[in-house]
Amino acid sequence: MTSLLVQSMRDRVLWMLADSDGNMERSSLRRRVGWKYSILDPVLEELEKEGKIKIAVGKQGGYISLKR
């Protein structure tokens, strides 16, 4: 993937989180962006490594939140 496409994907995820008060279940985020987990998960991992989001894993699945 080109770096512009990757940046656009990251921006879309961050925008979706910001639009939902900064918190969202992983499954809800996947549905809203319309991507498969195989596409979404690497983007989430990169954002977490950069310190932009936090991923919490619970019994019901993952919960994503913006770091403020």
Domain coverage including residue 58: 3-66
| CATH number, domain containing residue 43 | 1.10.10.10
- Regions of the chain where pLDDT drops below 50: none
Long-range CB contacts (< 8 A, 24+ apart) of 4-13? 6/43, 9/39, 9/43, 10/43, 10/46, 10/47, 13/40, 13/43, 13/44, 13/47, 13/53
Number of domains in the chain: 1
pTM for the whole thing?
Answer: 0.85
